[in-house]
A and B are shown apart, each in its own frame.
Chain A
Amino acid sequence: MSVLLIAEHNNKEVRPFTLNAITAASQIDQDLHVLVIGKNADGVSKSISEVPNVKKVIQVDNEIYENFLAENFTPVIIKQSENYSHIVCSANTFGKNLMPRVAALLDTSQISDIIKVISPDTFLRPIYAGNAFATVKSNDKKKCITIRPTSFDPAATSGGSAEIVKADGAEATPLTKFIKREEVKSDRPELGTARIVISGGRGMQSGENFKLITAIADKLNAAIGASRAAVDAGYITNDHQVGQTGKVVVPDLYIAVGISGAIQHLAGMKESKIIVAINKDGEAPIFSVADYGLEADLFEALPQFLEELNKLNTIQK
């Protein structure tokens, strides 16, 4: 048995969730190899080779892999898959897009979004927006698994010295062309890995009002999240959405402001360590998952909150 993990990166750096996926993958089997497909991604291979759990890095480098198209990645993974019992990657938009394409060609029934490795063929995964947990056992010879990154700790990034081998790629697809990527650049912590997240919902009433949230995020070094309602209303961009069809976050502190707490939103945040809800509707379902609920008008509460935080001078970064 050996596990092949598909690394997510930006050709320069490893994306953080790859480290969480490494932890999960090494729980499936210790013989863990990581496949780095990219363009001029030597630096990525090098940093992954230093992760102690990794036994080998396979690097496939070509300009056709610059933009991570699933149509181009898939034949490379299929070619490499022969010697492995498990093919794994993160269950974020990268892995969700890629893995089923691989699984179908391997004639494998993929297991998506696992939150626990029970044994090499049995896993725990949430279904129905996390309202139920299913224990599932794969009967396929080769298993394709995606991993919910926030359910596993990130692997250490130094101390290892895996060998790096180069391998050949495959034909480029003529069917799909990358045009552009619009990334929202920010100095804030990433939503998926931040220690504190403060999210706004429909109760914010406008994009302009999100500045109340931004001010607190600045103070707490927090990432900014949002409910689907706030994104749909155009208050904030889609990369902030927390929930069943957005991102899943598990911060130490999650502050939900003006969010009623639909099942679909709870699915993305209810595993957070401490949850705070600020909402003027005392009956809002968000209070049922909140450790600390404040029934108040957010337009009064948020400025007060900032003021109180300013009085403290020991905020952890």
Chain B
Amino acid sequence: MKILVAVKRVIDYNVQVRVKEDGTGVVTDNVKMSTNPPDDNAVEEAVKIKESGKAKEIVAVTIGEDKAQETVRKALAVGADRGIHIKVDGVVEPLAVSKILQKIVEKEKPDLIFMGKQAIDDDCNQTGQMLAALLNYPQATFASKIEVKDKSLEVTREVDEGLETIEVNIPAIVTCDLRLNEPRYASLPNIMKAKKKPLEQINASNLGVDTKPRIDQIKVEEPPKRKAGIKVANVAELVQKLKNEAKVI
């Protein structure tokens, strides 16, 4: 079995994001970037499946500017076998991302396609479902547990009401929740070895996909600030404030 894992480079989850003064976006210069956190879970799950003997090859793919390769290198350092970098500059909306990935799937013919359930930059939560639609594959979104069977996967999904379990035929798309597993860290020797693993670069323009944005971002602004609160001295004061000042109890 072959697993394709899609990873995205985003502003690190610990960074306090700042809006640019001109309203065109957020500050990315000199800001720490990392792999989108649930994409790390997707890579980890693929590696675990390979370690269990049920998969032979893991291909990590990313889409973006040159530096996006860092995320593929990281995936290679924790166990992916080879990488693909689709080079494209500027904004690529989830619809265009899924069309690019569709081309890669048609070429690579993986049995499973894993990715994070949502990217923490645009918070769209679309790509996996869109790719599943374009390929007419089943989709198992928000996965917190995956069991590989003979020709299918049994996937536990985190939904608003609790948990849902579905069985999807292979080939399938799975979008991963943060609770799926605990991503491992890359060891230094493996980081060195990853530098020698093959990483193919493809120009998005050669794939015949229109990546032009369909959505105009008119402006980006700071959310309204909350007015500063106060500290109360004790529980009695808190309850008194909630009752008489805020009037919420």
Which A residues are closer than 8 A to B by beta carbons?
69-71, 74, 92-94, 96-105, 107-113, 122, 126-140, 173-184, 192, 196, 220, 228, 231-232, 237-239, 244-245, 247, 252-253, 263-264, 270, 273-276, 282, 287, 289-296, 301, 304-305, 308-309, 312, 314-316
- Least CB separation from A130: chain B residue: B223
- Least CB separation from B152: chain A residue: A177
Instruction: Tell whether, in the assembled complex, residue A133 and residue B223 are in contact, meaning their CB atoms are under 8 Å apart.
Output: yes
**Least Cβ distance of B104 to chain A in Å?**
16
- Least CB separation from A270: chain B residue: B226
B62 at the interface (CB under 8 A from A): no
- Give chain A residues whose Cβ lies under 8 Å from the Cβ of B188: none
B234 at the interface (CB under 8 A from A): yes
- Give chain B residues whose Cβ lies under 8 Å from the Cβ of A238: 144, 158, 162-163, 179
- Picked from B124, B163, B215, the residue with its CB within 8 Å of the CB of A181 is B163
Docked pose: A263 CA to B12 CA in angstroms:
12
Docked pose: A291 CA to B234 CA in angstroms:
14
- Give chain B residues whose Cβ lies under 8 Å from the Cβ of A97: 129, 139, 141-142
Instruction: Tell whether, in the assembled complex, residue B98 and residue A104 are in contact, meaning their CB atoms are under 8 Å apart.
Output: yes
- Give chain B residues whose Cβ lies under 8 Å from the Cβ of A70: 129, 139, 141
- Least CB separation from B178: chain A residue: A245
- Picked from B140, B178, B249, the residue with its CB within 8 Å of the CB of A315 is B249
- B35-76 vs A, CB cutoff 8 Å, 1 = contact: the mask equals 000100000000000000000000000000000000000000
- Give chain A residues whose Cβ lies under 8 Å from the Cβ of B167: 176-177, 179
**Least Cβ distance of A179 to chain B in Å?**
4
- B111-146 vs A, CB cutoff 8 Å, 1 = contact: the mask equals 000000110111111111111111001111110100
- Picked from B121, B157, B241, the residue with its CB within 8 Å of the CB of A127 is B121
Instruction: Tell whether, in the assembled complex, residue B17 and residue A131 are in contact, meaning their CB atoms are under 8 Å apart.
Output: yes
- Least CB separation from A195: chain B residue: B248
Instruction: Tell whether, in the assembled complex, residue A93 and residue B232 are in contact, meaning their CB atoms are under 8 Å apart.
Output: no
- Give chain B residues whose Cβ lies under 8 Å from the Cβ of A291: 226, 229-230, 246
- Least CB separation from A146: chain B residue: B125
B1 at the interface (CB under 8 A from A): no
Instruction: Tell whether, in the assembled complex, residue A296 and residue B126 are in contact, meaning their CB atoms are under 8 Å apart.
Output: no
**Least Cβ distance of B238 to chain A in Å?**
5
- Give chain A residues whose Cβ lies under 8 Å from the Cβ of B129: 70, 96-101, 104
- Picked from B16, B98, B141, the residue with its CB within 8 Å of the CB of A96 is B141
Known: A228-B178, A264-B13. 7 other contacts (CB 8 A): A97-B139, A104-B95, A175-B137, A184-B162, A238-B158, A275-B226, A308-B235
B168 at the interface (CB under 8 A from A): yes
B200 at the interface (CB under 8 A from A): no
**Least Cβ distance of A52 to chain B in Å?**
26
Docked pose: A211 CA to B223 CA in angstroms:
35
- Picked from A112, A127, A180, A270, the residue with its CB within 8 Å of the CB of B164 is A180
- Give chain B residues whose Cβ lies under 8 Å from the Cβ of A122: 218
- Least CB separation from A302: chain B residue: B235
Instruction: Tell whether, in the assembled complex, residue A273 and residue B248 are in contact, meaning their CB atoms are under 8 Å apart.
Output: yes
- Least CB separation from A74: chain B residue: B133
- Give chain A residues whose Cβ lies under 8 Å from the Cβ of B126: 99-100, 103, 110, 112
**Least Cβ distance of A96 to chain B in Å?**
5
A128/B162 contact (C-beta < 8 A), A110-B126, A276-B238 known: no
Instruction: Tell whether, in the assembled complex, residue B161 and residue A294 are in contact, meaning their CB atoms are under 8 Å apart.
Output: no
Instruction: Tell whether, in the assembled complex, residue A132 and residue B243 are in contact, meaning their CB atoms are under 8 Å apart.
Output: no
Docked pose: A101 CA to B138 CA in angstroms:
10
- Give chain A residues whose Cβ lies under 8 Å from the Cβ of B178: 228, 232, 245
User: What are 6 A-B pairs with beta-carbon distances under 8 A?
Assistant: A136-B215, A139-B214, A174-B169, A181-B163, A253-B248, A296-B234
**Least Cβ distance of B122 to chain A in Å?**
6
- Give chain A residues whose Cβ lies under 8 Å from the Cβ of B154: 179
Docked pose: A137 CA to B126 CA in angstroms:
18
Instruction: Tell whether, in the assembled complex, residue B242 and residue A253 are in contact, meaning their CB atoms are under 8 Å apart.
Output: yes
Docked pose: A237 CA to B137 CA in angstroms:
30
Docked pose: A290 CA to B231 CA in angstroms:
9
Instruction: Tell whether, in the assembled complex, residue A176 and residue B163 are in contact, meaning their CB atoms are under 8 Å apart.
Output: no
Instruction: Tell whether, in the assembled complex, residue A245 and residue B118 are in contact, meaning their CB atoms are under 8 Å apart.
Output: yes
Instruction: Tell whether, in the assembled complex, residue A175 and residue B226 are in contact, meaning their CB atoms are under 8 Å apart.
Output: no
A140/B139 contact (C-beta < 8 A), A108-B95, A132-B223, A292-B229 known: no
B198 at the interface (CB under 8 A from A): no
**Least Cβ distance of B123 to chain A in Å?**
6
A290/B229 contact (C-beta < 8 A), A93-B142, A94-B160, A308-B239 known: yes
Docked pose: A87 CA to B174 CA in angstroms:
24
- Least CB separation from A253: chain B residue: B248
- Least CB separation from B222: chain A residue: A132
B148 at the interface (CB under 8 A from A): no
Docked pose: A174 CA to B167 CA in angstroms:
11
Instruction: Tell whether, in the assembled complex, residue A127 and residue B122 are in contact, meaning their CB atoms are under 8 Å apart.
Output: yes
- Least CB separation from A113: chain B residue: B123
